[in-house]
């Protein structure tokens, strides 16, 4: 992002590298920073040490303009990732479909069924016997494939376990905390709109819960797993919008409100007592 100090293009100066920065809403801009309007937001470099001098303070004329600017900045940073997240399940589904229904070649049409159960092989002339042998061979192949998966050589059609644990490295994920503990953490950090955290569900061991603050009320949204063509997805709107992992889900709802009362704005981090 550049700022123009005069009418000359050569006077452009770099204000901030949006690829290496995050954008935040400022709630007390007029009082704390003498902002000209109440609709202030700031750009904070990822490697910033939280020094006020290193923050880039900006103002919009109204709430809608501020939302547009912040959405545009986040799309610059996460747009490619969101697009890849959208295309990946479709490409994987097409690959599974192509694998499931292979096209027979000319050489395959000239093959004959053989029985090697005895000491010597023989050609199977009976079509019903040939079909039965093919089904039995397919069952044996599937059992062998499953055994290989258990031994550590997963098939490319099986979902990776990475998507089920990668969220545990994020500051907004708090594992098996109780509902009451999530309330305490949200209240301790100010109950501002968009403050959120994710945790394991107490009622469903395979599900997760999004805890979100809106208008000083704390709400909970269950995130359920969905399996489609052997791939596990996560959704909080009954499968209408699905994601390969919780990180993609959070990044999407940071840009889009969707079924939530507001967008995810501020991750609730663990408070040291």
Residue 156: per-residue pLDDT: 40
Asked if pLDDT for residue 129 goes beyond 80, the answer is no
What is the percent of the chain with per-residue pLDDT over 70, rounded to a whole number? 62
- Average pLDDT for residues 107-132, to the nearest whole number? 56
| Total residue length of the chain | 273
pTM for the full predicted model? 0.43
Domain boundary among 71, 87, 110: 71
77 inside domain:
no
197 inside domain:
yes
Q: Same domain, yes or no, for 138 and 61?
A: no
How many whole angstroms from its chain centre is CA 179? 23
- pLDDT tens for each residue of 185-244: 999 888 899 999 999 999 898 899 999 999 999 999 999 999 888 888 999 999 889 999
Residue 26: per-residue pLDDT: 82
Question: What domain count does the chain have?
Answer: 3
Q: Are 199 and 208 in contact (CB under 8 A)?
A: yes
Q: Same domain, yes or no, for 67 and 146?
A: no
Asked if pLDDT for residue 29 goes beyond 50, the answer is yes
Structural domain including 211 reads 165-267
194 inside domain:
yes
105 inside domain:
no
| Mean predicted lDDT score pLDDT of the chain | 75
Domain boundary among 32, 47, 71: 71
Q: Same domain, yes or no, for 263 and 171?
A: yes
- pLDDT tens for each residue of 80-108: 778 788 787 777 666 655 544 444 444 44
113 inside domain:
no
Could you write out the three-class secondary structure of 88-126?
A: HHHHHHHHHHHHHCCCCCHHHHCCCCEECCCCCCEECCC
229 inside domain:
yes
Residue 44's CATH number: 2.30.29.30
């Amino acid at each position: 992002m550049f700022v123009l100090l005069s009418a000359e293009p050569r006077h452009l100066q770099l204000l901030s590298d949006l690829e290496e920065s995050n954008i935040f809403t400022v709630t007390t801009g007029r009082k704390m920073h003498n902002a000209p309007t109440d609709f202030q937001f700031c750009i904070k470099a990822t490697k910033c040490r939280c020094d006020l001098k290193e923050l880039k303070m900006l103002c919009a004329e109204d709430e809608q303009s501020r939302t547009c600017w912040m959405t545009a900045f986040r799309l610059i940073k996460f747009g490619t990732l969101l697009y890849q997240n959208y295309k990946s399940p479709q490409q994987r589904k097409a690959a599974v479909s192509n694998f499931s229904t292979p096209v027979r070649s000319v050489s395959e049409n000239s093959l004959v069924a053989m029985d090697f159960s005895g000491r010597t092989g023989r050609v199977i002339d009976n079509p019903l016997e040939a079909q039965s042998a093919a089904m039995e061979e397919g069952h044996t192949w599937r059992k062998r494939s499953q055994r290989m998966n258990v031994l550590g050589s997963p098939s490319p059609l099986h979902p990776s376990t990475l998507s089920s644990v990668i969220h545990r490295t994020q500051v907004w994920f708090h594992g098996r905390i109780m509902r009451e503990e999530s309330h305490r953490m949200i209240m301790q950090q100010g109950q501002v709109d968009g403050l959120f955290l994710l945790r394991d569900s107490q009622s469903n061991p395979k599900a997760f819960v999004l805890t979100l603050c809106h208008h000083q009320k704390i709400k909970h949204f269950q995130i359920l797993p969905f399996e489609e063509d052997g791939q596990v997805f996560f959704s909080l709107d009954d499968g209408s919008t699905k994601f390969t992992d919780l990180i993609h889900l959070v990044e999407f709802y940071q840009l889009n409100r969707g079924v939530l009362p507001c967008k995810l704005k501020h991750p609730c981090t663990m408070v040291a007592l």
